[in-house]
Structure 1
Amino acid sequence: MIFWQKLLDKLQDNQKVYVLTVIENFGSSPGRKGFKMLVAQDKFIFGSVGGGVMEFSLVEEAQQLLLEENSPTFIKKQIHRGGVKNGSGMICSGEQTVAFHCLTFQHISVVKNVLNCLQNGEKGTLSLTPGTVSFSVKHLANLFDYQINSSEDWFFEEHIGFRETLYIIGGGHVGVAVSELFVKLGFHVIILDNRPHLNTLENNNFAHQKLVVDYNNIHDYVPQGNHSYVAIMTNKYTDDKLVLSKLIKNNYKFIGVLGSKSKLKMMWKTLLNEGFTQAELKVIYAPIGLSIKSETPEEIAVSIAAQAIQVKNKHFTNTST
């Protein structure tokens, strides 16, 4: 969101701005699809398309092109394998293609629409072609869609808005830390608790939405789906068990419970006695979070975020660490 706000500020200042977008990448390329950088007439730079000597060279090129009366739109392949044609000067292997679009005050409405989409928690599609930059309310099935037939015949579409939503059940201190970190990671964060006037919930300025609910009806507030993540961390064992029993048969991308191994062992035994199956319990991440001996709320948040990211990205090819 910060990128789009800074871009809008420059356009409203009547500056020409080059937006560089990575529209394709392979291998260990430092720039991945969707990476963006803006280069303004006043030399202001924000964002990244991969860094290093490649990025420095692309920025210099954009700055020179901004001096031209008709700054062109084009794509540029960067191959990270030393002294080859279209070489980037980097040796990290892989390659990427960067689109250069020069935006002016005429594009203000497009940028405003993107910002409104993000600020309102909505979804849409940013579309780039050799001649246009546009935004629509169309929903993409995937994060990106693109095709490059030639330098004059290509398109790139990017999902705008939140795809993943984290539902935090429990508005205590850990919930605050988890909210803050997951918002930074691009998740839409909704936090729920059954205690009215809870200080940590009321003062949580990170979550996009805060709700006081009856845990008996928790399933009404946590929709199923491949983009729904659930972190159960209420203030007591009985509420953790109640919430899990209401959600366990639903389909989520990720669902976990915070707690000690002894507490969770007791919960699992009770749930099995109540008729839940071992197969249903097996998909629950418990204790939630990667085992990194975390102790503080912030450390616990890091362990949960790392595990959620691992689940989210497990279908991607591992080309970086």
Structure 2
Amino acid sequence: MKLWQHLLHKLEENRKAYLLTVIENFGSSPGRKGFKMIVVDDGFIFGSIGGGVMEHALVEETKKLLTLADMPIFLRKQIHKGKIKDGSGMICSGEQTVVFHPLNATHISDVKRIIDCLKLDKKGTLLLSHTSFSFSYKEMKKQFDNQIVSTKEWSFKEQIGFKNRLYIVGAGHVSLAVSDLFSNLGFYVTIFDNRQNLNTFDLNTSAHQKRMIDYNQISDYILEGDATYVTIMTNTYLDDKLVLSKILKNTFKYVGVLGSTAKLKTMWEVLQQEGFTPKQLSTIKAPIGLSIKSQTPEEIAVSIAAEVIQLKNVNA
């Protein structure tokens, strides 16, 4: 989202920019398919296509291209195996292909549509080719589709839209830190609370959606699926237990509960008395997050993010 917002701002200032996109990668390439970076003619740079000496060299080349009257669209293969033809200067043994698209004020409408698509939690398709840059609201069946016939004939399609969703039940200080971090990690973040006039709820500008709800209806608000992650961190033990009992039989990629070991042990005992099985409870991450002795809300957010990323990227 931020890349597109920065790009829109620059194009509206009538600046010229290049969008660099990784459209193919193999092996231990530092840049993965879909990685993006913008380089603007005023020196502004945002995003990454893998970093290191490779990225630095391509950025410097792009800066020179931005001074040309006729800026080309082109493709560049980078082989990370030292000093060889098409070598990037890196030695990590992978390969990646980067395409370069010059953009200007004529592309504002497409960039606006991309931003609107993300804001409205919709999906669409970004099309990059040797002749064009465009966006449509047509959905794809997969995340990426690329065709490379030659350096002068190629295309790349990417489904734009949030792939992963994080639901945060409870809008306290930890929730605020978790929202900030996961928003930057590219998750669509929704927070819930049942308290009115809550300062940390009002201060949260990172969440894409904020809702005041009755926790008895929590399952009506959370979409099931293998791209859904749920974190429970209400302000009371009873609300934590209520929320967990309402969603425990649903299917999610991840459910975690914030709390002390002693509190959660009691909760597990009560839930089993209410008919939930040890097998059902074993799927819940509790206490939530990797054990890194986190203390502050920000540290707890890092521990939760690490646990979620570890699970999300299995077999990725």
Report the TM-score, using the length of structure 1 for normalisation: 0.91
* Cα separation, partners in 2 of 1:5 and 1:202, compared to 1, 3 Å: closer
Deviates more, 1:140-149 or 1:91-100: 140-149
Name the aligned partner's letter for residue 179 of structure 1.
S
Distance in 2, matches of 1:50 and 1:235, equals: 41
Matched residue, 1:36: 36
Distance in 2, matches of 1:14 and 1:267, equals: 58
* Cα separation, partners in 2 of 1:218 and 1:34, compared to 1, 3 Å: same
CA contact (8 A) 2:181 2:301 kept: yes
Distance in 2, matches of 1:70 and 1:215, equals: 58
- Pairing 1:162-241 to 2, within 5 Å after superposition: 162-241=162-241
Deviates more, 1:49-58 or 1:241-250: 49-58
- Pairing 1:290-305 to 2, within 5 Å after superposition: 290-305=290-305
Matched residue, 1:319: none
Matched residue, 2:266: 266
User: How far did residue 284 of structure 1 move?
Assistant: 0.9
Q: Which runs of 5+ in 1 are unaligned?
A: 317-321
Matched residue, 2:87: 87
CA contact (8 A) 2:38 2:46 kept: yes
Distance in 2, matches of 1:234 and 1:10, equals: 41
User: How far did residue 43 of structure 1 move?
Assistant: 4.1
Distance in 1, matches of 2:165 and 2:116, equals: 18
User: How far did residue 82 of structure 1 move?
Assistant: 0.9
- Pairing 1:98-117 to 2, within 5 Å after superposition: 98-117=98-117
* Cα separation, partners in 2 of 1:39 and 1:296, compared to 1, 3 Å: closer
SS at match of 2:150: coil
Matched positions, count? 316
User: How far did residue 246 of structure 1 move?
Assistant: 0.6
User: How far did residue 67 of structure 1 move?
Assistant: 4.0
Cα deviation 1:208-227 (Å, max 9, x = unaligned) = 22212111111111121122
CA contact (8 A) 2:119 2:208 kept: no
User: How far did residue 122 of structure 1 move?
Assistant: 2.7
Matched residue, 2:22: 22
User: How far did residue 74 of structure 1 move?
Assistant: 1.6
SS at match of 1:109: helix
Cα deviation 1:66-86 (Å, max 9, x = unaligned) = 344432222111001012221
Task: Return structure 1 stretches of 4+ with deviation > 4 angstroms.
Answer: none
Cα deviation 1:12-55 (Å, max 9, x = unaligned) = 34343221111111222122222222233344433322222222
